[in-house]
Structure 1
């Protein structure tokens, strides 16, 4: 397989989206390592929790109730989350002010423990994320999946993207492109497929000098049913 040059992918995306200027206006800009490292741990827990609740639910409904989540869970203060007994979690999961889902509510203490452990090792969870090498971004995905709760699939990566960490996303359009060009041919989450995907994105990053998030978006814009 000869990997398609990123210049060709970009040209196709620009043609579909109305030109270079229009395409550039659609692209995300990741935070710097310094900006990432300044994000408090409670904001990471809030972001993971919001994405967990949005999985399989209306994002609009979750966003509309989010101020209630912040109040019910004490602003996602990590120490308070770690001190709450199971009975309190079960009571909070029945609070009509939030979306009542015990399984998803119980991800909060699990992910608080993950964040707390990273804080012990790195000084803060944000430091760990900021220091994680871009060339091994899938390693960070795997860390979230292994040590967190319900952060596998695209939930962890989407949260990282929202928070400003540079990462690509295996959206439906991106996965379809990778399959159609032979980058992957098996299960998306197998070690072989993930390593092949990571190698391809690292090659495109070296070729273009662009952040991974923009490469991912440009690939998505270059294919699928999103032509203007």
Structure 2
């Protein structure tokens, strides 16, 4: 498989956005490992929960309700979430202060238990995330999907990106580009497609020295309906 040179992707994206400087101002910057390790574990659970509730809903509606979520779920304290009995979860799911959706509420204890297990082994869930190598970021996606609840698709990756872990995102534009380049053929989430995508991003990272999140954004800016 012959990939397009990243310098050519960058040139096209910069032209579409105006100048190199215009493009650079749009790019995300991941946190360092030390910065990631300072994130309290409850914030991972809170953000997983927010992204799960935003899936299939207006994101702003969830944001507007979020203070109620923080109050009802005790600031997403991991130990409290793991000790809460099943009948209390059902009661919490009917609280008008949150968006009442039992299925999504029940992801909270499952994801809290995932975070607690990783924290016991690595000192904190943030340590676990920070130590995961970028050249196998899709392995972290798979871990979240396997051990968590409703963290497959782009939910897990978007949460990682929002909290500063370097990851690419398979947005519609990025997936479309990868299909045009025949990196992805067939199902997007098959092991073959995921491995090929990780290999492509690893190559572009070696070429550019850029974080995965910026490579992902630049690809998206180089295609699709996003001209200035």
Q: Name the TM-score, length of structure 1 as normaliser.
A: 0.99
In structure 2, C-alpha distance between the alignment counterparts of 1:184 and 1:160, rounded to whole Å: 22
Cross-structure match for 1:82: 82
Cross-structure match for 1:63: 63
What is the count of residue pairs matched by the alignment?
Answer: 228
Deviations 1:174-215 (A, max 9, x none): 000000111111100000000000000000000000000000
How far the C-alpha of 1:2 sits from its partner, in A, is 1.8
Matched, 1:108 2:108: yes
How far the C-alpha of 1:171 sits from its partner, in A, is 0.3
Cross-structure match for 2:138: 138
In structure 2, C-alpha distance between the alignment counterparts of 1:2 and 1:142, rounded to whole Å: 26
Cross-structure match for 2:15: 15
Instruction: Tell me the secondary structure at the aligned position of residue 119 of structure 1.
Output: helix
Instruction: Tell me the secondary structure at the aligned position of residue 90 of structure 1.
Output: helix
In structure 2, C-alpha distance between the alignment counterparts of 1:59 and 1:10, rounded to whole Å: 30
How far the C-alpha of 1:67 sits from its partner, in A, is 0.7
Map 1:110-189 → 2, pairs under 5 A? 110-189=110-189
Deviations 1:131-187 (A, max 9, x none): 000110000000000000000000000000000000000000000000011111110
How far the C-alpha of 1:13 sits from its partner, in A, is 0.3
In structure 2, C-alpha distance between the alignment counterparts of 1:103 and 1:91, rounded to whole Å: 13
Instruction: Tell me the secondary structure at the aligned position of residue 158 of structure 1.
Output: helix
> Segments of 4+ in structure 1 off by > 4 A?
none
In structure 2, C-alpha distance between the alignment counterparts of 1:131 and 1:144, rounded to whole Å: 15
Deviations 1:11-51 (A, max 9, x none): 00000011111100000000000000111110000010000
Instruction: Tell me the secondary structure at the aligned position of residue 151 of structure 2.
Output: coil
In structure 2, C-alpha distance between the alignment counterparts of 1:155 and 1:127, rounded to whole Å: 20
Instruction: Tell me the secondary structure at the aligned position of residue 226 of structure 2.
Output: coil
What RMSD over aligned residues (CA atoms) do the two structures have, in Å? 0.5
Instruction: Tell me the secondary structure at the aligned position of residue 34 of structure 2.
Output: helix
Deviations 1:103-132 (A, max 9, x none): 000000000000000011101000000000
In structure 1, C-alpha distance between the alignment counterparts of 2:90 and 2:184, rounded to whole Å: 42
- Can you give the 5+ residue segments of structure 2 that lack an aligned partner in the other structure? none
Instruction: Tell me the secondary structure at the aligned position of residue 156 of structure 1.
Output: helix
In structure 2, C-alpha distance between the alignment counterparts of 1:64 and 1:112, rounded to whole Å: 23
How far the C-alpha of 1:52 sits from its partner, in A, is 0.3
